[in-house]
Structure 1
């Protein structure tokens, strides 16, 4: 994938990028569920903040170019290390792509994507609005249950936290993928 520009970042752009990372993380449903459910222990919120600081440092202190694949690997490694979990790979890809785009805009002193984030309402992605995931069978919706309706983001968060049966590849092999918390 394309690399982001290797130009140095100004203090103003650094501050804006830090704010953008916090805003993107607040909308990252799976990360918010991990924090709420304390997948990283009692200091899960601090670990999420540290992840954001690590990303900001990566953008600001490392000499570019900044490659998409490097950001994804760093994020996934930090998530496994901090939360003992493999979050949904697609959401990590989406967040990395969004952060690289915002970084590029900050380098050009274009802060409109951050303003858009600030002005957009967080719909269903905030921890307070995320549905808690429990392993209880009573939580499985049925057709006659009016409480089975939930927003798409909460459903996506639940789907990423629960291991599903992976489809076999072209050769008929099935490789199970670990989801959610790892057992110690």
Structure 2
């Protein structure tokens, strides 16, 4: 029987970073953390999940089954009072299993891509935030000089708001007309995260 392969020290460090990057892009988890659906220590629970997943991959003496990983992710979401019904748990588990296999082969390309995408995504709100502040200042300065330019600036600011909202939570914007409150809170206090993708199947 072939011995269980283990990650090297370098691969383990990169893989742990990769787990954090995947979870940082998981909309349902980030919504639960940002809104503190699991209480004040919601962020700590999310950070602990990264450590738990890494430990499961790296220290398990049993064969690794994706069903077990999905159960772990589901339990973590339940601890955040969040029920996911959007198929994202299976999607995240699949990404992590593939990423672990890549790291065993010292292939870090997907993690590098995630790292670059994450840096671009994090930088965007800061750029937009500074631009908005500048717009407000220039509005005040230009009020007596050029009213038409001030109007342009303020209309640009109004456009920024739904765009930023769209990036954070596509469900809310796309289903506003039919469902005023897509993340409706159920009677028992649970937050239900509905399907994210309405058009076609994922590739």
TM-score class, shorter: 0.5 to 0.7
Cα deviation code 1:115-148 (max 9, x no counterpart) = 111111478799x79xxxxxxxxxxxxxxxx876
Q: Which runs of 4+ in 1 moved over 4 A?
A: 121-126, 146-150, 157-161
Matched, 1:16 2:27: no
**Over aligned residue pairs, what C-alpha RMSD do you find?**
3.3
Aligned to 1:96: 93
CA distance, structure 1, for counterparts of residue 109 and residue 98 of structure 2: 12
Structure number with the bigger relative contact order (C-alpha 8 A, sep ≥ 6) is 1
User: Is the Cα contact below 8 Å between 2:23 and 2:29 reproduced in 1?
Assistant: yes
Q: Which has the larger radius of gyration?
A: 2
Compared CA separation, residues 44 and 162, structure 1 to 2 (3 A): same
Structure 2: give runs of 5+ residues left out of the alignment. Answer: 127-158, 176-180, 193-203
Q: By percentage of residues, which structure has more helix?
A: 2
Specify which of 115, 119, 125 is matched with residue 118 of structure 1.
115
TM-score of the superposed pair, with normalisation by structure 1: 0.67
Specify which of 156, 160, 166 is matched with residue 171 of structure 2.
156
Structure 1: give runs of 5+ residues left out of the alignment. Answer: 130-145, 165-177
CA distance, structure 2, for counterparts of residue 122 and residue 156 of structure 1: 24
Cα deviation code 1:32-79 (max 9, x no counterpart) = 110000011111110000111111110001024211111101110122
